Amino acid sequence: MSAPAPRQDLYAVLMALAGDTLLLPNVAVTEVLSFDRLQPQPGEGALAGWCEYNNRRLPVARFEVLNGGTVPAPTRRTRVAVVNCISGKLAVGQYGLLCQGYPHLVTLNRTALTREGLAAGDRADLVLARVKIANTAAAIPNLEALEADLALL
């Protein structure tokens, strides 16, 4: 009798944005900070501002704006998710993404995901794919492209 095939689970987080959701690897998100830690950047661009974290000044981005959307208004649920860099494009090694509430941990496998087409406004270089997990649609961002964009801000 042969042993059953090992499960191939993926541990991830669902991060709610204003009007969208991101699916990130669990190891990508280090911590979630309160919005009042944000030192706002003047203007309506992709760079929301800066945040002090572990004695470093991290850039904080609005993913919606990087992906061609409009600037979302902050709410009482707005937080800063600290994300670990996967490339060497940002010397500080981490950056922040504005999100709505706390990211939710999920355990996924092949049967839990259904591939969807990209949304009409998605930047093909920034969004690798869109998936559906139960009733939740989520974008899988290209973290290298995101970090390259942040390095230019």
pLDDT in tens, 61-120: 999 999 999 998 999 999 999 999 999 899 999 999 999 999 999 999 888 889 999 999
* pLDDT (0 to 100) of residue 3: 62
Backbone angles phi, psi at 119, to 5 degrees: -75, 160
Query: Could you state, in order of their start, the residue ranges of all structural domains in the chain?
Result: 11-109+143-152
* pLDDT (0 to 100) of residue 7: 67
94-100 and 56-61 beta bridge pairing: parallel
The whole-angstrom separation of Cα 41 and Cα 50 is 7
Measured torsion, CA atoms of residues 152, 140, 102, 62, in degrees rounded to the nearest 10: 30
Q: How confident is the model at residue 2 (pLDDT cuts 50, 70, 90)?
A: low
Tokens matching residue 31: 């911590």
Q: Kindly give the residue spans of alpha helices, DSSP state H, lying in the chain.
A: 63-66, 143-152
Average per-residue pLDDT for the chain: 92
Secondary structure letter of residue 64 according to DSSP: H
Backbone angles phi, psi at 75, to 5 degrees: -125, 180
Instruction: For domain 11-109+143-152, give the fold.
Output: OB fold (Dihydrolipoamide Acetyltransferase, E2P) (2.40.50)
Q: Which amino acid makes up residue 19?
A: G
Secondary structure letter of residue 4 according to DSSP: P
Q: Is the pLDDT of residue 1 over 60?
A: no
The distance between the two most distant Cα atoms of the chain, rounded to a whole number of Å, is: 66
Q: Model's pTM, two decimal places? A: 0.90
Percent with pLDDT over 90 in the chain: 82
